[in-house]
């Protein structure tokens, strides 16, 4: 049973990765303007996806038949898609945030238009070093990106890049 499950997960991973490479190259890389370069890029934390992964394991292990095991795989697929489709970067000119696969949400703010970068962390987020980063700009609604690894480091890097750009 475990060998079959590992084979299915491996096949899904390979197919989704190939699909992403064909259809969705990195959003951040696609929207860079001339002479713009990525200075810092954040990743989503696997810890923030732990509830989906745990539910996937529970459903796979406790399922009375194969029909319910598919639901467990759906939890894993959702976690995988969130992990692969969430992007947050600071370039020498702007902040770029993107989340979603089918329903995409993007925001791009010029560095000089960003008013604040907030970090929200739960107790577990502080212990495991992940949280939400909320970028606020002049005349722009807040842009929360949830589950980012090392959110304090992201804010620190952003502040340094913004100071350098303002010189």
What residues have CB less than 8 Å from 73, skipping those under 6 apart? 8, 9, 12, 56, 60
Residue 34 forms part of a structural domain: no
Residue 138 forms part of a structural domain: yes
Residue 16 forms part of a structural domain: no
What residues have CB less than 8 Å from 19, skipping those under 6 apart? none
Partners of 88 in the beta sheet? 42, 97
Residue 89 forms part of a structural domain: yes
Q: Domain limits at 91?
A: 39-165
Burial of 48 (0-12, 13-18, 19+ CB in 10 A): buried
Residue 7 forms part of a structural domain: no
Span 117-134, mean pLDDT?
Answer: 93
Residue 10 forms part of a structural domain: no
How is residue 34 annotated by DSSP?
Answer: T
Residue 150 forms part of a structural domain: yes
Residue 9 forms part of a structural domain: no
What residues have CB less than 8 Å from 68, skipping those under 6 apart? 59
Q: Per residue in 30-77, pLDDT tens? A: 888 889 999 999 999 999 999 999 998 898 888 777 777 788 888 999
**Would you place residue 132 in the very low, low, confident or very high pLDDT band (cuts 50, 70, 90)?**
very high
Task: Give the total number of structural domains in the chain.
Answer: 1
Q: What's the mean pLDDT when you consider all of the chain?
A: 84
Domain CATH for 116: 2.30.29.30
């Amino acid at each position: 049973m475990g060998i079959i499950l590992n084979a299915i997960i491996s096949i899904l991973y390979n197919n989704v990765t190939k699909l992403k490479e064909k259809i969705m190259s990195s959003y951040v890389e696609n929207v860079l303007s001339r002479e713009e370069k990525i200075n810092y890029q954040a990743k989503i934390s696997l810890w923030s996806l732990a509830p989906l992964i745990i539910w996937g394991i529970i459903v796979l292990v406790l399922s009375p038949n194969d029909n319910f095991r598919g639901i467990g795989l759906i939890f894993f697929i959702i976690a995988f898609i969130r992990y692969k489709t969430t992007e947050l970067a600071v370039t020498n000119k702007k902040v770029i945030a993107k989340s979603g696969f089918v329903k995409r949400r993007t925001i791009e703010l010029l560095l000089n238009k960003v008013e604040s970068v907030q970090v929200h962390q739960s107790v577990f987020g502080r212990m495991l070093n992940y949280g939400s980063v909320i970028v606020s700009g002049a005349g722009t609604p807040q842009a929360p990106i949830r589950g980012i690894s090392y959110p304090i480091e992201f804010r620190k890097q952003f502040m340094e890049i913004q100071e350098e750009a303002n010189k």
